[in-house]
Structure 1
Amino acid sequence: MSLIARIALTGPPAEDPEDFFCASLSVIFPDDVTNQHGDSEHGLLYTSPHLPEPLNISLAEPSGDTERELFSHYLWNSSLMLAETIEAGTLGLDLSSGSSSSLPSQSQSKLSQENGASPIASPASDFNITGLSTIELGAGTALPSIMSALLGAHRVVVTDYPAPVVIETLRRNVAVNVQPSLAPSGALAEGQVVEVEGHGWGELDSPVAQANKHAFDRVMAADCLWMPWQHANLLRSVDWFLGQGPTARAWVIAGFHTGRDKLSRFFVKETLAEKGLEVERIWERDCDGKDREWSWDRGIEDVSERKRWLVIAVLRRVL
């Protein structure tokens, strides 16, 4: 099953010629993959076979160029990938034959490898969020955070740029979808706390930053690497919020649609080391769940092919 098969538009039917054209792209260009979903007039329905009911995702309506340039008014494939990976890891699913499968690592049994498991990806169990605390940076629609809350995370903090329309949309998505009736178990984690806060990357004097230094087991960032000039600030926030224990991890996923060079700069070993971080595992996965080795340079990449792939990285503290 394709990564984007879980997404459907809600709202009024398309009337603008541009809307009709966009909706027809998959027919006109069958090898092309849509990597951004929805708009301010059409929400999204996210249907997982492992959730009792679909999730209703609203999208922000940017009011100016600054807010529009954040591109938080779309759901990106990186968020879809992270949400499915968390789901697979937490529920113990074997999705090796489907989209965004969480596949065993090289340390898994020979039998698993013979059955098609990937020696490249992290083990599925590494993405189990049961009982953990998570924070999402640049959350956009908050889908990975919503999934974390429904699957049993103890504390979930959702952040994005502190623009009122962005934060309002996040709060609406959390309120509508973080409900016991939508959790696979029929209940949320006992004593669970879910918060939505504004946070500009690298701005560490804000209330949410001051109250949560090294407070999280997992830091999540989906499709946040397309602005190289913000990498240093994003890394400052990752370092600030990530716990200092040996099991703390940051999950960074991004699509290649803006170019490999822009993304790769974030993973430079020396830059990460300045914050006491290192890459534990990094690989590439396409929208059909196929894994391949991470590459710093694949030469000239076809645009349609490039859009199919995402990088998945797991960062940890250098101990």
Structure 2
Amino acid sequence: MALTSRISLHGPPASDPEDFFGSSLGVIFPDDVMNQHGDAEHSLLYTSPHLPRPLHIALADPDREADRKLFSHYLWNASLLLAEFVEAGALHLPLDLGNGGSGSAGAGAGPHDGGATTTITPITPAHFDVKGLTCLELGAGTALPSLMAALLGAADVVVSDYPSPAVLDTLRKNVAVNTVPECSPSGTTTPLTVEGHAWGELDTPFAAQHRGHFDRLFVCDCLWMPWQHDNLRRSIAWFLKDSSSSPSPSPSTSGAKGEAKAWVIAGFHTGREKMRGFFEDAALASAGLEVERIWERDCDGVERAWVWDRGHEDVTERKRWLVVGVLRRQR
């Protein structure tokens, strides 16, 4: 099933000619994929066959140019993909793979800094099970993966984004509307907190209180600003739990759950060159992090190895693809 098939617009019919053109691109150009969803006049409905009712996703309506440059007033495909992964993990569902997929997510990992392709242990849905875990989303935007975590058994969920009133107000609205028992398969939800956090700013009360607190970090489509890569790595390292200093995991949290992870997913729509530097081994190591797994996946579930450089990539084609990185503390 296509990644974008769960999303539909909710609101008044489109009236602007540009809106009609944009909504018909998939018909005119069948290989073109929408990688950003929604606008100021429309909210979104996220419909999953495994949830009792659709989630109603509000979008920010930024009135300041600085806020618009955050691009948090859209739902991006990276969030859709991580939401499906979280759902598959918590509900023990198979990960949806398209024709030509590897058969198991993460079966191959490419070079970070330009080496030969390596092979790693295949990843399974269990690796994305958040039940009983503490979760933080950085650069949350609409917070869809965090909403799924709160509805599917996470112990504690915090969503954060740049401390802009327009962005944070929208996050609070999404939390209030969707984290209700009627949206959860089990009829129960986890309290979800909204916090303002600018990456790299670690002297705030929120950062001080939550250092090393989280088992899982969600990072979706946050790599398009190379100048913020260092700050983002610093925030990930700051909030990620130090598994080595924690008590030995119980049987219920052993294996896939036993070590703190950051799940970093990003689309290639802004170009591979702009976002790949985030995964440089030396830069991650300077923050005390390393890549456990990394691979590429398209909007139809087809998977391939991550590579540092694919040469010229057609804009329409690269919009279909995302990188999926699993980070952990450096061993």
TM-score of the superposed pair, with normalisation by structure 2: 0.89
Residue of structure 2 in register with 1:19 after alignment:
19
Match for residue 227 of structure 1 among 225, 228, 231: 225
Q: What's the offset of the Cα at 1:103? A: 3.1
SS at match of 1:59: coil
State how far apart, in whole Å, the 2-side matches of 1:82 and 1:51 are. Answer: 16
CA contact (8 A) 1:3 1:77 kept: yes
> Which shifted more, 198-207 or 251-260?
198-207
3-state SS of 2:18 partner = helix
Aligned AA (1:196):
V
Alignment of 1:91-102 (within 5 A): 91-97=91-97
Matches within 5 A, 1:1-319: 1-97=1-97, 103=104, 122-188=123-189, 192-246=190-244, 247-319=259-331
Indicate the SS of the match to 2:243: coil
- How many angstroms does 1:98 deviate by? 5.4
Preserved CA contact (<8 Å) 1:75 1:141: yes
**Cα displacement string for residues 167-195 of structure 1 (whole angstroms, at most 9, x for unaligned residues):** 0000000110011111111222xxx4310
Bigger mean CA offset, 241-250 vs 164-173: 241-250
Indicate conservation of the 8 Å contact 2:75/2:142, yes or no.
Answer: yes
- How far residue 95 of structure 1 moved from its aligned partner, in angstroms, is 3.3
Give distance in 1, aligned partners of 2:120 and 2:290.
20
CA contact (8 A) 1:85 1:127 kept: yes
Greater Cα shift, 238-247 or 65-74: 238-247
C-alpha distance in structure 2 between counterparts of 1:84 and 1:44, whole Å: 16
SS in 2 for 1:103: coil
Secondary structure of 1:156's aligned partner? strand
SS at match of 1:181: helix
Runs of at least 5 residues in structure 1 that lack an aligned partner in the other structure? 108-117
- How far apart are residue 101 of structure 1 and its match? 10
Deviations 1:17-57 (A, max 9, x none): 11111111111111000000001110000000000000000
Aligned-pair distance for 1:137?
0.3
Q: Give the structure-1-normalised TM-score.
A: 0.92
Cα deviation digits, residues 112-163 of structure 1 (max 9, x gap): xxxxxx9775221110000100000000000000000001001000000100
Provide the C-alpha distance between the structure 2 equivalents of 1:177 and 1:161, rounded to a whole number of angstroms: 21
- How many residues align? The count is 306
Q: Distance in 2 between matches of 1:195 and 1:101?
A: 37
Secondary structure of the residue that 2:84 maps to in structure 1? helix
Residue 102 (structure 1) shift: 9.3
User: Shift of residue 94 of structure 1?
Assistant: 1.3
The alpha-carbon distance between structure 1 residues 168 and 105, as it changes in their structure 2 partners (threshold 3 A), is closer
Q: Report the Cα offset of residue 96 of structure 1.
A: 3.6
- 134-143 or 177-186: which moved more? 177-186
Residue pair 2:106, 2:293 contacting (<8 A) in 1 also: no
Q: Percent identity?
A: 61
Instruction: Quote the Cα distance in structure 2 between the aligned partners of 1:102 and 1:186.
Output: 33
**Closer, same or farther: CA 56–96 of 1 in aligned 2, 3 Å:** closer
Amino acid at match of 1:58: A
Return closer, same or farther for 1:14/1:102 CA change in 2, 3 Å cut-off: farther
Q: CA RMSD in A?
A: 1.9
Equivalent-residue separation in structure 2 for 1:160 and 1:28 (angstroms): 36
Distance 1:102 1:62 in 2: 41
1-structure distance, mates of 2:63, 2:130: 35
1:268-315 deviation per Cα after TM superposition (whole angstroms, max 9, x unaligned): 000101111100000000000011000100000011110000000000
Bigger mean CA deviation after superposition, 119-128 or 152-161: 119-128
Q: 2:24 and 2:223 mapped to 1: Cα distance?
A: 28
Does the 8 Å contact 1:120/1:293 carry over to 2? no
